[in-house]
Amino acid sequence: MTSYLFFSGKGGVGKTSMACIHAVRYADQGRRTLIVTTDPASNLADVFEQEIGHHITPIAGVPNLYAMEIDPDQATKEYIDRAMAPIRFAFPPQMVQVMEEQMSGPCTAEVAAFDRFTDFLDVPACKEETFDVVIFDTAPTGHTIRLLELPAEWSQSIETASAGSGQTCLGPAAAIQDAKLKYERALAAMRQSSQTIFIFVLHPEAISIKETRRAISELKKLDIENYRLIINGIIPPEGTQNPLFAARAEMQAHYLSEIEASLPYPKQQMGLLPSEIKSVERLRQVGSVFFDGNPNLKIEDSIIEAETLKPIQPSNLQLSHLLTPNGHRRTLFFAGKGGVGKTVASCIAAVWLARQGYKTLLLTTDPAAHLGDVLGVPVGAEPAPVPGAKNLWAANIDAKAAAETYKARILDNARQRGRPESAIQIMAEELDSPCTEEMAAFDKFIEYASQEVWQVVVFDTAPTGHTLRLLELPMDWSKQIDVKIFASVDTAAADDVAKQRFGKVIEMMRDPQQSAFAFVMYPESTPILEAWRAARELSAVGIRPSLVVANMVIPPEQATTPFTRSRRSMQEKYLAEIAERFQVPVVQIPLLSHEIKGLAMLAELGELTYQQEESRVS
């Protein structure tokens, strides 16, 4: 019987590294192993240092190990081709084109990726090779949970459409009835504790613990019960010889006790390493530490003497033209790999701007929103003043609530225009599909970003792959609404308004006088490559990065031990790479002895990061 391992957790905690370590170990034991990622911003190829892509690929140097990175675009094409195959012979070409256009939205990409993912869980229908172990390196937790919730939603969507128009955003209902059974079998496999384990990777930090608790609570609602924990990034004894890391180790000890008391599941620990995990050889070395309890790896050749370490000066001068309004409202977008500190970076910028006197709105659409955790105050679904922070408002856009409001508005508008009840019913069916939440969250963002009352809007985005799909929504949605009239829903007038509204926002994003995109990253290989890919995707729609925020940079004066010198040396190499790749100003947020939380600390870091010589506005 095939064993399934799901690696999940907050972004940036080391899910991919731990998944790859397990994959190499199982393959070395002679078990035929496959590692699959559903993360739209995959890093498997970076870790294994070889091309992988959207097909099962042997991993060089590891007999029995194969990998696959599910490509959302390719999975979508395969999904549409399969769903539309029986339709093409039964309907006129014009109608087939309309149906294909209706499946062209970003929701279908998410559906298709999950559909491809379930191929490896659905044994009765599986046409893939047989494996002893299948490891899923999942996307960050909030997104993963939504994927796991989708089968029930899809089943409802299929059933509703079958009784109505026969068409859904997933494709023709009749053509995907088999999918319903496949998804139910996949979910059943996830519930088999003898076959499936969910492994949560977390850091001994408050937000990571909270995220793990929330994810387990959501999975229990789906009757998934078999969990393990890997507590990653624990500072080793040799690291505590430095005062900064000693203080962080003391903080970690507190959270390790909390994890032990509040998360009663099997646990393993993994220490913070002096250098990054890349290559098969390195994965085997780290595996010997993790699985066999060997002493921590010896620090390698990357150590250099303290006197040769040189501080990389942050280019945090002359940034006011990027951050502050310049005759227009300014919108700031913080993007990057999950877990690199986008929320912290966006909160620092928002608090700093508010303290300069600008009326500032801080927003997030991330399903795992942590604005309140970082600000140290509750943040609701509607903009509200942040207590203790003059000029600052914040909101966590709730996608589920936004979807209900969005649906009601569209249907009410159709009724007011006198549309027949049959057309209203068709629209209601479309809006009940799993696509609507993502569209509604973006629509809600546009509503706030378009309000004239704000001088600055700071947008703490979801992880990179998800963010890019949000940004692509206006174009994809416009494509869909162009052809919706063929489904007997005449919404041309409303669609024209929506196009103008979306078009205006996209133009705002492209205008450097109005918007700035800041990529947040650790000075490490994987976050840099992920941000670089995201920047190229954005440039394809005319949006270019304005700023890079390098987070958790070890201050040079703290590089006083072999362990800290090794990590600082690694960071220096990557800080230089960041400057070379992006060719934009780079600001640095230092690694601190404690977590960043609360308005006072955010204000202090804002002055350190963005201090300007210009006098503050009144």
DSSP string, 336-405: -STTSSHHHHHHHHHHHHHHTT--EEEEE--TT--HHHHHTS---SS-EE-TT-TTEEEEE--HHHHHHH
Which of 39, 115, 373, 432 is catalytic? The answer is 39
**Rounded to 5 degrees, what angle do the CA atoms 216, 42, 332 make?**
85
17 is catalytic: yes
The residue from 42, 76, 168, 526 that is catalytic is 526
Instruction: Return the amino acid letter for 608.
Output: L
β-strands 65-69, 57-58 pairing: antiparallel
Q: If you search the block for the tokens 């508008």, which residue do you land on?
A: 413
CB 21 within 8 A of CB 290: yes
Residue 605 one-letter amino acid = L
Beta strands in 138-179 (DSSP E): 167-168, 171-172
Q: What is the amino acid identity at position 240?
A: T
All residues at 6 or more sequence positions from 6 whose CB lies less than 8 Å from its CB, including other chains: 136, 138, 190, 196, 197, 198, 199
CB 12 within 8 A of CB 98: no
Question: What is the C-alpha end-to-end distance of the chain, expressed in Å?
Answer: 69
12 a catalytic residue: yes
DSSP string, 417-477: TT--HHHHHHHHHHHTSTTHHHHHHHHHHHHHHT-TT-SEEEEEPPPHHHHHHHHHHHHHH
Q: What is the longest distance spanned by two Cα atoms in the chain?
A: 78
- The residue annotated as part of the active site, out of 10, 15, 278, 484, is 15
Calpha distance 194→216 (Å, rounded): 18
Cα separation, 228 vs 605, in Å, equals 36
| 28, 129 contact by CB (below 8 A) | no
Is-catalytic flag, 15?
A: yes
Which of these is catalytic: 17, 208, 212, 461? Answer: 17
> Which are the contacts of 256, defined by CB distance < 8 A and separation ≥ 6?
204, 231, 234
Per-position DSSP letters for 228-253, written without gaps between them: EEEEEEEPPGGGGGSHHHHHHHHHHH
Q: Is 57 a catalytic residue?
A: no
CA-only gyration radius of the chain, Å = 25
The dihedral built from the CA positions of residue 548, 549, 552 and 558, taken in this order, carries a sign that is positive
Number of DSSP helices (H) and strands (E) in the chain, helices first: 21, 18
Which residues have a Cβ under 8 Å from the Cβ of 428 and sit 6 or more positions away? 407, 411
498 three-state secondary structure: helix
One of 8, 10, 11, 12 is an active-site residue; which one?
A: 12
CA distances from 426 to 62, 84, 111, 329, 542 (A): 52, 20, 21, 39, 35
Q: Which two tokens stand for residue 109?
A: 């990409």
Q: Which of 139, 110, 144, 218 is nearest to 470 (CA)?
A: 110
> Which residue in 14, 239, 341, 606 is the catalytic one?
14
Q: How far, in Å, CA of 567 to CA of 554, rounded? A: 8
Catalytic residue positions? 12, 14-17, 39, 526
